[in-house]
Structure 1
């Protein structure tokens, strides 16, 4: 009798799963979280003075939805102003600020005196700022150094724009030089023609007032289109970025925020730092 062959069952031995991949993934996530924690702690330490001041002592009447964003802006403003002790501080206004009570416009945060104001006078070739005359007179009565600026429209005739500004603004002894505000690129002309138009405006205004105008623009616009070809002019630069905390050496004025609160003015106001003290500011005024 034949013996039946007995087949033994074989079982596959399962190897334990490697934990390295899981561990590696968790380590990566923990590293990211740790990085952001360290970053936030670093920012908190860097802005500790401003945070202490604003979160501890300042109260405002801003809606809850905008309060945190405004406080972050205020912290930066505080930090920037602290770094520029001794520099001359001023503002710029237009019809968008509405009715201004000029007798109350004196200090920023009850600490930093406001020495000067730039006031929008004209826009393009055919529009005067609706509050210019009131603001121009109010600033003078409030004994602030005042300056007038023109908002340039790239697609309109440059000499007509210069003519409107000249007809609108009468500069007196002690006023700041006229300002050309250029922020937009042209739609229907080349950059070369834009620069030609800007030069025509600048030359016409300088010829009339006998003083070289100042050019206002954003930092990127300044770097890309104006810095090299308009190097003979002084610049007023706008930069609100959180990383920028000090005025550049080659800037005459720095508009560092568009979200400041000033007594006598409802809503937000632009604030500027002059690259010098009050005496140096008076030196560049019209004689």
Structure 2
């Protein structure tokens, strides 16, 4: 019998591997698209700030930030201003701002839309802010709505701190309610003891002025430690996050930056938004 030779097995073609050059081009193209998408998202996110900044009068003083840091911070500030055109803006100051040229902060002269100012009066049981009296009278002469705040030291007697504030601050018609600034965890007492001390300060000050004080703190500190037991108080919240661009409805005031540059003040200063119109802010006053 004649044998039929087996058919040869066809050779499989080896898959072609993309050249290294082609792979590199794809990666570069993908990376470029990613950058473009990121820039487009950033421009869209801060579109209000760009437009507001382009049409805003600025003649700011030179201060401690680098030029690039200043541009980034200004962009965020103007973005937030652009998103809150129906709100009221103000600053808060202490001796850290040094001697302030209050005439430059008058609404008719200001290069920034400032209508109110919070001024640090006291700290702890015996600390008087060295610039308080000049700032208190300067704010009045500038025609700004003013308010005073106390920096609370957790490990000092709360009632002694309240008495120091009461002795220092004389509120007049048109002044904002007193403010309690709490932002530090106690070193020598429990959190329950801290909360008890805060309530004593708040009750003593409210009883003296006949006005319910405002509570100031960082957003995280308030959420973690104070939210459950201090729900009845108006809030002044600090949040400087680059991604925070809207005031929350439960905040009365929002301190959204500590790096603003304002004519009449050397260096940086905090800027705040009141969650309402000027008429409502005036009704809040004494």
Mark yes or no: TM-score above 0.5. yes
Q: TM-score under structure 1 normalisation?
A: 0.85
Shift, 1:60, TM fit:
5.6
Using the alignment, how far apart are the partners of 1:143 and 1:214 within structure 2?
22
Aligned position for 1:4: none
Higher mean displacement: 16-25 or 254-263 = 16-25
- Deviations along 1:87-138, one digit per CA (max 9) or x if unpaired, are 1111100001111111110359966531110000001111100000000011
Shift, 1:37, TM fit:
3.5
- Give yes or no for contact 2:60–2:262 (8 Å, CA) kept in 1: no
Aligned position for 1:197: 197
- Give yes or no for contact 1:109–1:262 (8 Å, CA) kept in 2: no
Higher mean displacement: 110-119 or 18-27 = 18-27
Higher mean displacement: 176-185 or 21-30 = 21-30
Using the alignment, how far apart are the partners of 1:65 and 1:276 within structure 2?
31
Using the alignment, how far apart are the partners of 1:200 and 1:267 within structure 2?
36
Label 1:200 to 1:44 Cα distance change in 2 as closer, same or farther (>3 A): same
- Deviations along 1:11-35, one digit per CA (max 9) or x if unpaired, are xxxx989847978898678645643
Aligned position for 2:4: none
- Give yes or no for contact 2:254–2:273 (8 Å, CA) kept in 1: yes
Using the alignment, how far apart are the partners of 2:102 and 2:30 within structure 1?
54
Residues 1-287 of structure 1 mapped to structure 2, 5 A cutoff: 19=17, 31=30, 34-48=33-47, 50-51=49-50, 62=62, 66-107=66-107, 113-286=113-286
Using the alignment, how far apart are the partners of 1:117 and 1:91 within structure 2?
5
Using the alignment, how far apart are the partners of 1:275 and 1:197 within structure 2?
28
- Deviations along 1:37-66, one digit per CA (max 9) or x if unpaired, are 411231023324534665898676647971
Shift, 1:261, TM fit:
1.6
CA RMSD in angstroms comes to 2.8
Using the alignment, how far apart are the partners of 1:76 and 1:46 within structure 2?
10
- Give yes or no for contact 1:217–1:236 (8 Å, CA) kept in 2: yes
Aligned position for 1:3: none
Total equivalences in the alignment? 272
- Give yes or no for contact 1:257–1:271 (8 Å, CA) kept in 2: yes
Using the alignment, how far apart are the partners of 2:140 and 2:109 within structure 1?
22
Using the alignment, how far apart are the partners of 1:109 and 1:222 within structure 2?
36
SS in 2 for 1:175: coil
Using the alignment, how far apart are the partners of 1:117 and 1:218 within structure 2?
18
Shift, 1:266, TM fit:
1.1
Label 1:62 to 1:55 Cα distance change in 2 as closer, same or farther (>3 A): farther
Label 1:191 to 1:71 Cα distance change in 2 as closer, same or farther (>3 A): same
Using the alignment, how far apart are the partners of 1:136 and 1:158 within structure 2?
24
Shift, 1:147, TM fit:
0.3
Gaps of 5+ in 1: 1-14
